[in-house]
Amino acid sequence: MKILGIIPARYASSRFPGKPLIDIKGKTMIRRVYEQALKAKSLSEVIVATDDERIYKEVKGFGGNVVMTSTLHSNGTERCAEVANKSEVDVVINIQGDEPFIHPEQIDLLASCFATPDKTQIATLIKESPLNEDLQNPARIKVVVNKNQEAMYFSRHVIPFVRNSPHFTVQGFQSRMPANLPQDDMAAHLTFYKHIGIYGYRKDVLLEIVKLPESMLETAEALEQLRWLENDYKIKCALTEHDSFSIDTPEDLKGLK
């Protein structure tokens, strides 16, 4: 099985323009992501997909594989699909270009989801999370899974909502959570998961999902993966022990220079 790692990278960003080229301890962020991806044992090849000449020249400069893609793509999934469409591959791993410290083991774990005979369509990673203040951050995407470890729903809200828990309110849950929930609180017996935003797709599925129209749930939550769920695609979730650390704003660089 040939598994291709693709790192979508664009220069334009409303919150942090040019972030793929920012310097992090002597290396650009895109270079750090690329070098981490190369350490994954499961990938046959790693390619940066960009629509910007500056990023293209940077990747070429450090000896990386890079291709120019259309400027019309609205997201990284579409950019990955353009590259995959021209490649003889079975599976594509979409590696976030703003996670310079991604663990290669996470890439290999995700790739392993496609080794089983059940023909996984799409896969992603999740991590167990305590019911704390960090979990209620809307930037932390939450997910609930079924008994087959497939995603049922993703949300910016804490899910599941525990109706009879004194710690949940209409707005979410109390900002100051106790260190240990009482055992008679239903929330103490539930497992909460954070979504780790790396995806794998079978090539044919990737080429299908980018043709789907934007859905209502996707628009409401601003989460692209809800479009796939609404159209009955299955998303396998593998449990990782590693968290993710993305660079979204200049403030995220504090202590990394």
Cα gap 10→6, rounded to integer Å: 13
pLDDT of residue 217: 97
Q: How does residue 186 score in pLDDT terms, banded at 50, 70 and 90?
A: low
pLDDT band at 133 (very low <50, low <70, confident <90, very high): confident
**What percentage of the chain reaches a pLDDT higher than 70?**
86
Q: Which of 233, 200, 46, 7 is nearest to 113 (CA)?
A: 200
pLDDT at 4 over 90: yes
- pLDDT: which is higher, 150 or 18: 150
Confidence (pLDDT) at 185: 64
CA distance 152 to 229: 8
Q: Is the pLDDT of residue 184 over 70?
A: no
DSSP string, the chain: --EEEEEEE-S--SSSTTGGG-EETTEEHHHHHHHHHHT-TT-SEEEEEES-HHHHHHHHHTT--EEE--TT-SSHHHHHHHHHHTS--SEEEE--TT-TT--HHHHHHHHHTTSSTT---EEEEEEEE-SSTGGG-TTS-EEEE-TTSBEEEEESS-SS--TT-TTEETTEE-SS--SS--TTSGGGG--EEEEEEEEEEEHHHHHHHTTSPPPHHHHHHT-THHHHHHTT--EEEEE-S-------SGGGGTTT-
Residue 156 makes CB contacts below 8 A (sequence gap 6+) with 138, 139, 140, 141, 142, 221, 222, 223
Taking all residues of the chain, what is their mean pLDDT, rounded to a whole number?
Answer: 89
CB atoms within 10 A of CB 156: 16
10 vs 200, more confident: 200
pLDDT digits (tens, 9 = 90+) for 187-228: 667 889 999 999 999 999 999 999 999 999 999 999 999 999
Compute the residue count for the chain. Answer: 257
> In terms of pLDDT, which residue wins out, 48 or 245?
48
Domain ranges for the chain, please list them: 3-253
Domain 3-253: assigned CATH number: 3.90.550.10
| Predicted local confidence at residue 17, as pLDDT | 76
- The pTM score is 0.90
Whole-number Å distance between alpha carbons of 81 and 86: 9
**Among the listed ranges 12-16, 110-114, 120-124, 244-248, which one has the minimum average pLDDT value?**
12-16
Span 43-86, pLDDT tens digits: 999 999 999 999 999 999 999 999 999 999 999 999 999 999 99
